[in-house]
Amino acid sequence: MAIIREGSLSEAVPGAFVGLAAGLIAGGLAALVGQPLGWALVTTVALGLPLGAFGGGFGLLVVAGRLPVGRFAPVALYWLVAFPLARLVHETTVGLVLTGQVRLPPDLAGFLAYQGIVSVGWAIGFLWLHERISVRLRAAASR
């Protein structure tokens, strides 16, 4: 099994940042237009944390050699699984906070399939920002 080397945890930063930023954007916009602060916070946390965790996990898998660098297909496959899961966590958490009950989306298969398709778009945006931030961090570290 590949070992995550010392210091490689920093490789998780760009992906985690992109995921958290997505949650923050969703929650921030909710707050901006006058949604209750609690609702905005739930969206920020319930979407940002899973996306951030999966984003960070992506960086760790790359550094451990489990995901090849420089190809789009593995990234898209990774998010094909991770993005619908993150959205499922988001939906159920928001439902739990608002209604006090754990409820899955009514058409679970359709929900996951739709999120799976959207994940390809997310994967492009994720990789785009991830690469940009990684380059910046590497440049800063080498200075």
Partner 1 sequence: MDDPNLVARTETSSPPEKDERVWAAGKLEAMPIRKLPDAPPSIHLLGPTVFLVALGVGMGESYMWPRLVLVFGPDIRWLFLIGVTLQAVVMLEMARYAMATGESIFFGAARVFKPIMWFFFVVAMLVYIWPGHLSAGAAALEKITGIPWTVSACVGLVLVGVLFSLAKVIYNLLENLLSILIGLLVVSTAVVAAMVGTWGDLTSTVSGMFQFGYFPAQALSPEWFPIIVGSIAFAGPSGMQQMWYTLHLRDSGAGMGAHIPKVRGLRHAGDEEKMPARGFMFDTDDKAELAKWKGWRRWVTFDALLLFWGITMLVTVSFTVLAQSASRTSPDVKALIESGEREAALNAMSDAFASAGGPVLGAVFLGFIALIGLNATLGLFDSFSRGQADMTYHFVKGAKKFRMSHLYAGFLWGVITFGILILLFGPADGPGAILDVLAFLSTFAMGAYCVVLLLVNNRMLPKPIRPKLVTNVIIGFGAVFYLGMLFFSLVKFGVVVG
Q: What share of the chain is helix, strand, coil (3-state, %, to 5)?
A: 80, 0, 20
Count of C-beta atoms within a 10 Å radius of residue 89: 17
One of 5, 9, 10, 29 touching partner 1 (CB under 8 A): 29
Told to check if 33 binds partner 1 by CB under 8 A, we report yes
Told to check if 117 binds partner 1 by CB under 8 A, we report yes
Taking the complex as a whole, how short is the minimal distance between the CB of residue 38 and partner 1, in angstroms? 14
Contact 48/22 with Cβ under 8 angstroms? Answer: yes
Q: Where are the beta strands (DSSP E) in 14-132?
A: none
Q: Which residues bind partner 1 (CB under 8 A)?
A: 18, 21-22, 25-26, 29-30, 32-35, 47, 70-72, 83, 87, 107, 110-111, 113-115, 117-122, 124-129, 131-132, 135, 139
